[in-house]
Structure 1
Amino acid sequence: MTTVETRTDTVVGEGVDRVDAPLKVTGAAHYPNDFNYPGMVHAALVGSTIAAGRIRSIDASDAQSAPGVLTVITHLTAPQLERGPMTLLGPSPPAPMQDDRILHYGQHIAIVVADSPEQARHAASLVRVEYEPAEALLEIEDPRAEILENPWGLDTERGDVSAGFAAADAVVDERYTTPDNTNNPLGLFTTIASWHGDSVTIHDSTQWPHNVRTSIAQIFQIPESGVRVLAPFVGGGFGAGLRVWSHTILTALAAREVKHPVKLVLTRPQMFTSVGHRPNSVQQIKIGATRSGDLVALEHHSISSVAMEDDDYEPVAFGSAVSYTCPNVLTRDRQARLNIPCPGSMRAPAEGQGSFALESAIDEVAHAIGMDPLEFRLRNYAENHPVLGLPWSSKALRECYTLGADRFGWSRRNPEIGSMRDGRWIIGYGMAGVTYPYYQVPCQARASLRRDGSAYVTSAATDIGTGTYTVMTQLAAELLGLDLGRVRFDLGDSDMPYAPQAGGSGLTGALANAVHVACGNLVQEFLDIVRDDEDSPLRGATPETVTASDGRLHRTDAPDQGEAYTDILARHGLEELSADGRSVPPDAQKIGMATAGAFGAKFVEVRLDPQLGLLRVARVVSAIDGGRILNEKTAASQINGGTVGGISQAMFEATATDAGTGRIANATFGDYLMPVNADIPDMEVIFCGTPDRATKVGTKGVGEVGLVGIAAAIGNAVYHATGRRLRSLPFTIDQLF
């Protein structure tokens, strides 16, 4: 890997506007649903109306003879398909329509293809199905459910928990529950598949084009080179686009069958059963502390739901093992197999559920010993990684606590319950300390510089609204010494260099480091060309001795000795030069540091009307250690968006499954509660800390940490206002009275 010094008038860190904003506001950004092909036809899905059992018979004759219908595919006519591959996020979901079994309500049991969307939907309603129902398992604590113990081997244990609790002066032992949540991006997920012989082009609402490519290749037993996946704009995902779902597979299957391009757009109710959801959880957490405020024991057990034949896993309790200094810790995660749609990642997976229990219980213990919740957290601050024993590659959580508390006005908090009022409103202050684990995997990028002085940088990533287009443009501009307007960054095409998923707060770090290497290698390519060039003032220069600025390279100790990229290309008869770059995740043992994810402190003010049971969030201050911030505007937007998601998790969202049928009863925007603008308070974001030491670029992801801890902070504020401890999400009026 080569490096290059960059100019000091950096464009990284500045809150520049999104480079893709003009395309979006003018309607020129093409999302999967915006693409069309000559001869394209349309598909609609038929979903099961029971949650468990078998298909006794399925009659598609009326649908097949309906106007405009090309084909109807069921398990009786579908070919045998391979299951998708093992991925970085675990096994792929099961292949669809392989037998007559029904494993959940809404399971795809037929796909209808017709000339128009309306004809396809009408014909889908004509498919007649007779079932042999079985009793469905729908409750997470149903004693009949199969329990998976420690599915991924992430349970932890250190010290002697029993002895720790025996030495404690105060022990809190409580049960916390979180419901299913559904991702609900605004854009309905869409797939278009178009075959050309044995090759297929797919437009898909995915957060991971290469995963779709690899999966489709394995499922249909064709070379990966025969699959191209396009997703330049996605329209939101929140984790729903991280897996290759059955509707994508069925669209490709239908297109191969009818020999036409096929478009399938999920309906909003189908989004609730087809593209994952945050699994519910039941958590028992027990914490012991001394009167002086030392944590002496922590035990966290969690059980969450998983589908019958799926392997999605979220270690809900695991975060408790690394959050605080505590000598005696035990965490256990289990899963219950239920007749539910396959769960999947939803913004801040695992930590979104686990932090609610942990940070609520930490608040309970602090109150039990009469200590300020902020002081209690600071007293048990983990300077080093509690499991690995290594220093963090960066950690500014203490600074987050201090600056966040100062900006919020935590010192004005009267610790007496219910003591703070404003007219009829009771005021409560609450807080939470949070982290989101470090995640980074290998990534590749390519950088090119052209004769006209412009740069073109590519990688097969996606931008789900997080600002990837913008921050990578900024980074490449800085590394190559170009104005922003001279750099174009493209993504969303599986033919581009490999990139991991936009998820887990890991893409920016992986991609930024790959772009850094690619741009450094590109500078090396230019220096290689002029190494023996007697006409070049850069003759014999190395990347360590030059600086890039103003579209040129010059010797760092002699700025007048340099030349423009365009002059080098022209003199050597080249139209452009290109270079590839690859990043790999740092190894904690090799670097002698524990790789650190983002940290943060959340401070919340709530107001309650005790007569009406109204709960309002009045203010939120988020102090975040996100490492090096590439764009303050887009990073703050991510934290604010996560905060909105946290408020929604705390006060609104719950996917309601009918206990008798397994049907999701609120699968529309009219019934599934989410906050509107009037529900969102003043939000402030403070960035703390310095660039992370584990990588050259120094970033840490901020996409998830904005949501983590908000629900707990709200619940802790409610307790401060009312003395009522809320341990079940979402917080409802009946809990407040």
Structure 2
Amino acid sequence: MTTVEQARLVGEGVDRVDGPLKVTGAARYPNDFGFPELAHAALVRSTVAAGRISRLDTRAAQDSPGVLAVITHRNAPTLGRAPDTFLSAPPPPLQDDRILHYGQYVAVVVAGTAEEATAAARRVEAEYESTEPVLDLHDPRAEVLTDPFETDSSRGDAEAALASAEVTFEATYTTAANTNNPLGLFTTVAAWDGDALTVHDSTQWPGGLRAALARVFGVPESGVRVLVPFVGGGFGAGLRVWPHVILAALAARTVDRPVKLVLTRPEMFTGIGHRTATEQRVRIGATRDGRLVALGHESTSTLQMEGDNFEPCASGTAYAYACPNVATRDRQVRLNVTWCNSMRAPGEAQGNFALESAMDELSYELGIDPLELRLRNYAEIHPQLGLPWSSKALRECYEVGAERFGWSRRPPEPGSMREGDWLIGYGLAGVSFFWFQKPCQATATLRADGTALVRSAVTDIGTGTYTVMTQLSAELLGLDLPRVTFELGDTELPPGVVAGGSGLTAGLGSAIHAACRNLVQAFLDTVRDDPTSPLAGCAAGEVSVGRGRIHRTGSPEYGESYTDILAAHGLPELSARGASAPNDPQELGLAPAGAFGARFVEVRVDPELGLLRVARVVSVIDAGRILNEKTATSQIIGGTVGGIGMAMFEDTITDPGSGRIANATFGDYLIPVNADVPDMQVVFVGRPDRFNPIGVKGVGEIGLVGMGAAIANAVHHATGRRIRSLPITIDRLL
């Protein structure tokens, strides 16, 4: 039994509450929904990367069997622009004849069946006045945006400190573009009833999609309903309102019938964004005993021709280490590429690879163990803000990880470990992910049968939100887990936070904490003046909850069940709303901390064949309070697999002449499979964070950060070869 204010909140590794629905096929994803008289849409994409449409002949498509409409820029209505937020939507489609990237939508065909729509779309004839696309970061024609996020930072005098440092190091690192590629093909099902729009969609932010669709179509936001009970994976791909979503709604309004639009796998490569490619220059100045005196980190990343993409890659360096002189710079270069977008661990995935590779290289220059170098420069307080961290157990991550991994057995000389034909290497990386939280609301209801319903308009993209929030609600209300239902994925519910940036658990969990606290208060208010109630006159701080009851703390005999209180007062249920918002660091006197961690990796390299295998990974993570160790561990394992993909396989290849993505299928775009996934050990350390009432920090992003650097550092230890570009492919090892 626990008090409302100081609930234990320690998550047991319970199974997913939505597991039975998923394994039996009863979980309904966007592609599983339909309406009577459902029509289907297919897209026509440009075959050039830059220019204008000179001819568009749709007559053959319009005459094809089952076709209801062919919509192009010539007959599409003028559409509004979505709200300008930190996840701004691309410009509305089919508004003019300009082509900004290969695969841009130039028409949408609507027909009675998906097969009819697809066949007719192939009959649309398009010709272009093409211009030479801008596809290279170093193209002098490219527009360069300096400090686009206003995150560039400076403390001390990095240039002067570099000039006078006893030891200096400088290198340039590059990372390839990656494509999110969730397993579930993104789907939109749209239906109009007058000016009321209902949409099923593969979104990670129902509220953002609702606001955008209302603005685009000029209808009241209250008339737009977005439904997304399950998403077939996201990794950031579902954060924005993509053009195909707008086209599905536009098609439904045009033909006055519900419309379903399902992207093909090649369309997923051009239609829902990708991780930016980067080129990063890192400069370090240090004393001979390994104390950092200067850090400079400059990053250049790709950006599409219109719109923005908030993804600073260098900014994390400003608070990574205790260094008195630091300068970080980010810039973006506009290219004729598909939309750049958040992908798991945006910015930090790329920036950490450069910084932690450079730190490893510096350790060899100084003859200091890579782990010891990091510990000598440990940031006890936030270097930029000068405030104590709300929580930080990175030192413990290093220490526990080194022990579990057996780091002390690592000989310092590269190429000194061997087993048969395989060279063996050990590598590590220190990791972090920035703090992120947005406002969120939730409601909690207790019914006469003793069950509770907790609701918020968020999504569960596979991270375990259904389960974790059911656990949290059950503990805060003192109920058994089966008596609590958590409902999400519907914009009719209280406004929820975006499922991204490792901010959902803190934002939503804090809102649920408030809602459950307020619900218990509502029960106390109900019995406050009831002379027959043992809880009469009690304040929230004087009671505890457990076993479906509220009782005086320390005196469980003086209490009442929720059901008895409702029955005694003739109430079918009681409800309460809760809200959360991020705290002000200056008011709390704390620097908000995201998750921290240490990654230890063993690799094996066959030098004659250029084969690289990851043999084992130990991840030690400080993510504050862990609400469910099983789902949290799953998140770290999944992120680690994604990190292996970024480090060794994934590369969205754009043809340098045409701008076409050359490997837009799973047959050509390489991702890790079971045989590429090694033995993994995940350990959580640390204490509850002080920046939110439930003490969490989120684990969705941190699982990927650091794998690129740890693997590259291990490759160097195994072979003596320093690889500064991801992915690490056979040709780079031979």
Band of TM-score, shorter chain: over 0.9
- 1:403 is matched with 400
Q: Aligned partners of 1:410 and 1:169: how far apart in 2?
A: 28
- 1:681 is matched with 678
Deviation of the 1:7 alpha carbon: 10
Of all paired residues, the percent bearing the same amino acid is 65
CA offsets per residue over residues 210-257 of structure 1, 9 Å max, x none? 000000001111110010000000110000000000000010011001
Q: Secondary structure at the match of 1:621?
A: strand
Aligned partners of 1:12 and 1:471 also within 8 Å? no
Letter in 1 for 2:62: Q
Q: Aligned partners of 2:44 and 2:309: how far apart in 1?
A: 24
Letter in 1 for 2:63: S
Deviation of the 1:6 alpha carbon: 4.6
Aligned partners of 2:87 and 2:239 also within 8 Å? no
Letter in 2 for 1:558: S
Q: Secondary structure at the match of 2:437?
A: coil
Corresponding residue pairs, total: 734
Deviation of the 1:527 alpha carbon: 0.4
- 2:20 is matched with 22
CA offsets per residue over residues 357-410 of structure 1, 9 Å max, x none? 000001011110000000000000001111100000000000000001100000
CA offsets per residue over residues 624-664 of structure 1, 9 Å max, x none? 00000000000000000000000000000000111111110
Q: Aligned partners of 1:625 and 1:447: how far apart in 2?
A: 30
- 1:32 is matched with 30
Letter in 1 for 2:332: Q
- 1:51 is matched with 49
> Does residue 129 of structure 2 align to residue 162 of structure 1?
no
Q: Aligned partners of 1:268 and 1:395: how far apart in 2?
A: 41
Aligned partners of 1:140 and 1:305 also within 8 Å? yes
> Does residue 108 of structure 2 align to residue 139 of structure 1?
no
Matches within 5 A, 1:484-499: 484-499=481-496
- For the aligned residue pairs, the C-alpha RMSD in angstroms reads 1.2
CA offsets per residue over residues 467-492 of structure 1, 9 Å max, x none? 00000000000000000000000100
- 1:250 is matched with 247
Aligned partners of 1:619 and 1:681 also within 8 Å? yes
Aligned partners of 2:321 and 2:378 also within 8 Å? yes
Q: Aligned partners of 1:137 and 1:611: how far apart in 2?
A: 38
Deviation of the 1:313 alpha carbon: 2.6
Q: Aligned partners of 1:546 and 1:395: how far apart in 2?
A: 32
Q: Secondary structure at the match of 1:334?
A: strand
Of 281, 285, 289, the residue aligned with 1:288 is 285
Aligned partners of 1:7 and 1:478 also within 8 Å? no
Aligned partners of 1:83 and 1:219 also within 8 Å? yes
- 1:177 is matched with 174
Of 640, 643, 649, the residue aligned with 1:643 is 640
> Does residue 300 of structure 2 align to residue 303 of structure 1?
yes
Q: Secondary structure at the match of 2:639?
A: helix
Aligned partners of 1:75 and 1:97 also within 8 Å? yes
Q: Aligned partners of 1:497 and 1:35: how far apart in 2?
A: 23
Letter in 1 for 2:18: D
Q: Secondary structure at the match of 2:725?
A: coil
Letter in 1 for 2:442: A
CA distance 1:520–1:6, shift in 2 (3 Å): closer
Q: Aligned partners of 1:5 and 1:589: how far apart in 2?
A: 29
Matches within 5 A, 1:629-668: 629-668=626-665
CA offsets per residue over residues 261-299 of structure 1, 9 Å max, x none? 000000000000000100101111111111111011111
CA offsets per residue over residues 171-217 of structure 1, 9 Å max, x none? 11111111110000000000000001100000000000000000000
Aligned partners of 2:4 and 2:517 also within 8 Å? no
Q: Aligned partners of 1:610 and 1:424: how far apart in 2?
A: 8
Matches within 5 A, 1:696-715: 696-715=693-712
Q: Secondary structure at the match of 1:581?
A: strand
Matches within 5 A, 1:209-358: 209-358=206-355
CA distance 1:10–1:588, shift in 2 (3 Å): closer
Deviation of the 1:92 alpha carbon: 2.2
Deviation of the 1:90 alpha carbon: 3.9
Deviation of the 1:8 alpha carbon: 9.3
Matches within 5 A, 1:84-95: 84-87=82-85, 89-95=86-92
Q: Aligned partners of 1:402 and 1:630: how far apart in 2?
A: 23
- 1:470 is matched with 467
CA distance 1:11–1:594, shift in 2 (3 Å): closer
Aligned partners of 1:604 and 1:713 also within 8 Å? yes
TM-score, normalised via structure 2 length: 0.99
| Structure 2: gaps (5+ residues) | none
Aligned partners of 1:427 and 1:606 also within 8 Å? yes
- 2:533 is matched with 536
Q: Aligned partners of 2:354 and 2:68: how far apart in 1?
A: 52
Deviation of the 1:91 alpha carbon: 2.8
| Structure 1: gaps (5+ residues) | none
Aligned partners of 2:88 and 2:240 also within 8 Å? no
CA offsets per residue over residues 480-531 of structure 1, 9 Å max, x none? 0000000000100011111111000000000000000000000000000000
- 1:522 is matched with 519
Aligned partners of 2:296 and 2:327 also within 8 Å? yes
Q: Aligned partners of 1:729 and 1:453: how far apart in 2?
A: 55
Q: Secondary structure at the match of 2:375?
A: helix
> Does residue 204 of structure 2 align to residue 207 of structure 1?
yes
Aligned partners of 1:363 and 1:373 also within 8 Å? yes
Letter in 1 for 2:589: G
Aligned partners of 1:620 and 1:684 also within 8 Å? yes
Q: Secondary structure at the match of 2:716?
A: helix
Q: Secondary structure at the match of 2:154?
A: strand
Q: Secondary structure at the match of 2:495?
A: coil
Q: Aligned partners of 1:563 and 1:701: how far apart in 2?
A: 36
- 2:714 is matched with 717
Aligned partners of 2:458 and 2:489 also within 8 Å? yes
Aligned partners of 1:288 and 1:365 also within 8 Å? no
Q: Aligned partners of 2:137 and 2:446: how far apart in 1?
A: 56
Q: Aligned partners of 1:620 and 1:168: how far apart in 2?
A: 35
